[in-house]
Amino acid sequence: MRRRLASGVIATFGLAVATLAVSLASTPASAQVNGCQDLQKLLGERQSIVQRLAAAQKAKKKMTPQEACSTFGRLASNGEAAIKFATANQDWCQIPPSFIDGIKADNEKVMTFRGQACNAVKQQAEMEKRARQQAQGANPFGGADSVTSGAGGGLRVPRGAL
């Protein structure tokens, strides 16, 4: 599932960048000088993140849940900034609506994948917490010195030599 989502994000992003590159190539130079290059910076950052994801996928390197959560968090944040800029400057920078729609769709996929990765981080942390408790001899149903017995509550475990 991760591989399919990551591949979809990479493919969608590539198409969106190609569409915008054609559009910006036909934009007057004065418009680019007056702020439109900010979108190119955002897209350059986005492309860098996507290339790192693609390289990891190509090398068949599995990302840890923490790495995936962090990377897709940066990608989602970048996507939100790109959507905000593109929407606000659509007319001035001559950004086609199809580009904005593509970035929105791409960012929705990224947000879904980020949610899955970050949930995996939470689950892993909870499992590690339980494992530490068990390793320390803690009883998750009562205090460290008690043993639960049915409906009667806990019984005190004697300390010292038996």
CA atoms of 73 and 94, how far apart (whole Å): 28
Q: What pTM was computed for the model?
A: 0.62
Half-sphere exposure in the Cβ direction for 95 (13 Å, CA): 26
Mean pLDDT of the chain: 76
Query: How many helices and strands in the chain, by DSSP H and E?
Result: 5, 2
Q: How many CB atoms lie within 10 A of CB 9?
A: 23
Helix or strand run (H / E) with residue 146: strand 146-148
pLDDT reading at 51 higher than 80? yes
**Structure confidence at residue 62 (pLDDT):** 84
**Mean pLDDT for the stretch of residues 136-144:** 59
**Structure confidence at residue 8 (pLDDT):** 52
pLDDT, tens digit (0-9, with 9 covering 90-100), for 85-118: 999 999 989 999 999 999 999 999 999 999 999 9
Domain 2-135: which topology?
Four Helix Bundle (Hemerythrin (Met), subunit A) (1.20.120)
pLDDT reading at 127 higher than 80? yes
Segment of 12-21, 98-107, 123-132 carrying the highest mean pLDDT: 98-107
**Full DSSP string of 125-162:** HHHHHHHHHHHTT--TTS-TTEEE-GGG-EEEPP-S--
**Mean pLDDT for the stretch of residues 64-76:** 92
Q: What's the sign of the alpha-carbon dihedral 69, 75, 79, 80?
A: positive
Backbone torsions φ then ψ of 15, nearest 5 degrees:
-65, -40
